[in-house]
Amino acid sequence: MPNELTQKGLLDLELAIAGKDVTPIDLVEAYLSEIETRNGTLNAYVTVTADQARAEAKALTEELAHSGPRGPLHGIPFAVKDLMDTAGVRTTYGSSMFRDHVPVVDADPVRRLREAGAILLGKTNTHEFACGATTNNPHYGATQNPRKPGHIPGGSSGGSAAAVAAGLAPLATGTDTGGSIRMPAAACGCVGIKPTWGRVSLRGTFPMDPTYDHVGPIARSARDCAVALNVMAGYDPKDPWSPRQISEEEFTRLLGRKMAGKRIGHAPDYRPIPVQPAVRENLENVLRAFEGLGCEIVEVELPPAADVLSTGWTLIGAGTAATHVARALYPARETEYGDDVRPLLEAGTATSGLQVLAAQHRRAELTREFETLLATEVHALVLPTLALEPPAIGVEQVDLDGVTLDVTTAMAAYTATHNTTRLPSVSVPSGVGPGGLPTAVQITTGPGQDSLALALADAVT
């Protein structure tokens, strides 16, 4: 039986430590025991920092007794996606090229978490260079979905979501370029937020395309994500992608408030790909839950889905290729890439400058359209996170209502929309499909309205 401590959320663990019911040592030992028992099957972690975690737990337990908590996450264990640098701890970026890479400085969000008293348990598996939606990594193995082993956990932050869902960490970091926080959170039945672009520093995280990349938390609840984001977010003067004008915010400030009167956008005609019936039915259940809270459901019209998708794929593909070319990794070391990542880079390098410019212009137009909708018509927009239950590991194509799609396209069709717009978007569980796997919706708000997105997510879960 799992240790009951590992089934608790972040806030419950904080209260337990504050009340001296448990110590950081107790928590670390509980999670390390679960990792030792289950990680061999799940493959959520690629590196476990057991000795370091125990040493930090001992120091933090003594510090708590003598001088009080270091910060709001004092003694709380967490995991880090292996795309983000960790000082003195191997960081592979999911690639064989960096199998022995050990950074000397933490990624900025990791630094913030550790300074708040959080304890690193290890590094979680990721799709190679975050370039995929399955976390089937050819170099470090496939991560299993803890809700149904044999099925994918989503990607690219699949190891992080699997660790949280399985009780191998109460909190994990993720990155999201086309849905890589929200997809695995949805697939594993967790909560994950892609904050407003720029809220969380990208410094120390290997990029796909920094204009699409976001860093955020994956946890058991929207409340836990809000607590984590309070620590992770903030202006970083050393990150060229961190906007100086981004405002500081307490992301927990709207939790528990009444949501009556909020207008919730529903876009039934926005269908980038077909949606499985259970996904649609569970989304409608969430809309009914909002109605029960006194919210108004407003049917809205969004820009053409095909246009939104083509714009995103063009820019993500070209931006990712540019990243790897600039680092002299591609095409110089193309044989070292996995078979699913290499074609992405090939296609990206073949994209013309005119195509990129046209897509950038269209991105600006689309962003304005979504922002205007969320400023004038509705407070939030609810769409599916995934159009389908997570497929089995190794499946390369899926059929949705007679349409055959590759797995990455099928998984990311809805999430990539909000990387193009850079808007905050929270994925929350909406139910279970006929295959026994979770379904989810994403709740999206206007720029800088992360607290509202989290509060709405908390209100219906």
Catalytic residues: 81, 156, 180
Instruction: Give the CA angle between residues 82, 87, 91 to the nearest 5°.
Output: 25
Helices 450-459 and 222-232, interaxial angle, to 10°? 160
How many other C-beta atoms are found inside a 10 Å radius of the C-beta of residue 236?
21
What single-letter amino acid sits at 93? Y
CA atoms within 13 A on the CB side of 64: 26
* Closest C-alpha among 368, 322, 375 to residue 347: 322
**Cβ pair 226, 232 in contact under 8 A:** no
* Closest C-alpha among 270, 276, 252 to residue 389: 276
Residues contacting 431, CB < 8 A, separation 6+: 278, 281, 282, 285, 438, 439
Distance, CA of 137 to CA of 125 (rounded, Å): 8
Distance, CA of 111 to CA of 413 (rounded, Å): 33
What single-letter amino acid sits at 439? T
**Cβ pair 366, 311 in contact under 8 A:** yes
**Unique residue bearing structure tokens 């400023």:** 375
Distance, CA of 39 to CA of 384 (rounded, Å): 30
Q: Find how far residue 91's CA is from the centre of its chain.
A: 18
